[in-house]
Amino acid sequence: MRLSGALAVAAGLLWAAAGLAAPPRLALIVGIDSYPDPAIHDLSGAVNDAKLWAATLKHRFGFTEAEIRLLVNGQATRAGIERAFREHLIAKAGQGTAAVFIYSGHGSRQA
Say whether pLDDT at 106 is over 80.
Answer: yes
Say whether pLDDT at 7 is over 90.
Answer: no
What is the reported pTM?
Answer: 0.78
Say whether pLDDT at 94 is over 60.
Answer: yes
Say whether pLDDT at 22 is over 70.
Answer: no
Q: Are 106 and 33 in contact (CB under 8 A)?
A: no
pLDDT tens digits for range 40-75:
999 999 999 999 999 999 999 899 999 999 999 999
What residues form DSSP beta bridges with 100? Answer: 27
